[in-house]
Amino acid sequence: MMGTNTPANAFWGLPSSKANFCEEDYVVTRYVAEFINSLTNLCYIIYAIYGLRQLQQKRNVEFSRAIPYWGLMAVGICSAAFHISLQYHTQMLDDLSMLFTTTPLVHRVLTVNADRKSSFVTGLFVYSALALLVTYHVTTDELILHASFFVGSIAVIGIRTMQLLKRRTVENSATRRQFWGMIVFGAVIFHLGYLVWLVDGWVCEWLRTTRAAIGLPWAWLLELHGWWHIFTGIGAYIFIAVIDHLVSGEDQDIHGRFAWPASWASQSIFAGVGSTMIGADDKTHK
């Protein structure tokens, strides 16, 4: 926890959350504890709205396909509420919204082409584990098991997404290359987000000193936790959208289906990097 001096007129009072980040509290307004860390959560909300609007343009779409996007929006709202107030109950909302977003995706990627019974059993196991973790986390306010479950979920989603693309028949090799570009870019930017999250804690004093010397508004570029929100928001959207596209069987036409920078990544150097995976994959099927 990064210690800060809370002003006497702070609207939300003294922080009661276990976590507090490198951005200094109540600098911009007495109503928002961490201004940039709150504002950057719009990234999750904007991508969630885009994904939901894309689904609305299709016919006979099952509600289950919209759940990950609603979860992504919940992450943005709950995280913003936490950074605005720095209170314990909003921290719990932030923590749990992350798990409520990843768990449906885990269930979906694990049950592709599974029958109803297998899907039910897998769902029972996954959601029971989630319920136990939520109960334990709220009761003890521990972070290690929570973080481990979240990271484990991300790993399962990433690995299964790559497996799905390798197994999915995509007649157009260019389309397959574009998918790999988005997947590779999504993984890279998600890991970059985690890196800046770590750096934000490691060199906090240096960051604060440098921001004070630079002054606003350019100092806001060094609010690294805000970049964590932006990078993970992009990465999460990419994997949600790619998984939905692959599982729904709509992987033959992806033109205009993905928001920037996913659309850019599908045509960029990341697609070239992914082509090596395609080549290895094609050899195994000859």
Q: Which residues contact 90 (CB under 8 A, 6 or more apart)?
A: 17, 78, 81, 82, 84
225 annotated ligand binder: yes
255 annotated ligand binder: no
Distance between CA 265 and CA 161 in Å, rounded? 16
Q: Which residues contact 229 (CB under 8 A, 6 or more apart)?
A: 37, 40, 41, 43, 44, 79, 193
Distance between CA 83 and CA 139 in Å, rounded? 21
229 annotated ligand binder: yes
Per-residue tokens: 88: 């314990």
Distance between CA 91 and CA 88 in Å, rounded? 5
CA 153 to chain centre: 11
User: Diameter of the chain by CA atoms?
Assistant: 70
83 annotated ligand binder: yes
34 annotated ligand binder: yes
Task: Quickly count: other Cβ atoms within 10 Å of residue 75's Cβ.
Answer: 28
Residue set of the binding site for Zn(2+) = 83, 225, 229
Binding residues for Ca(2+): 23, 34
Residue numbers belonging to the annotated binding site: 23, 34, 83, 225, 229
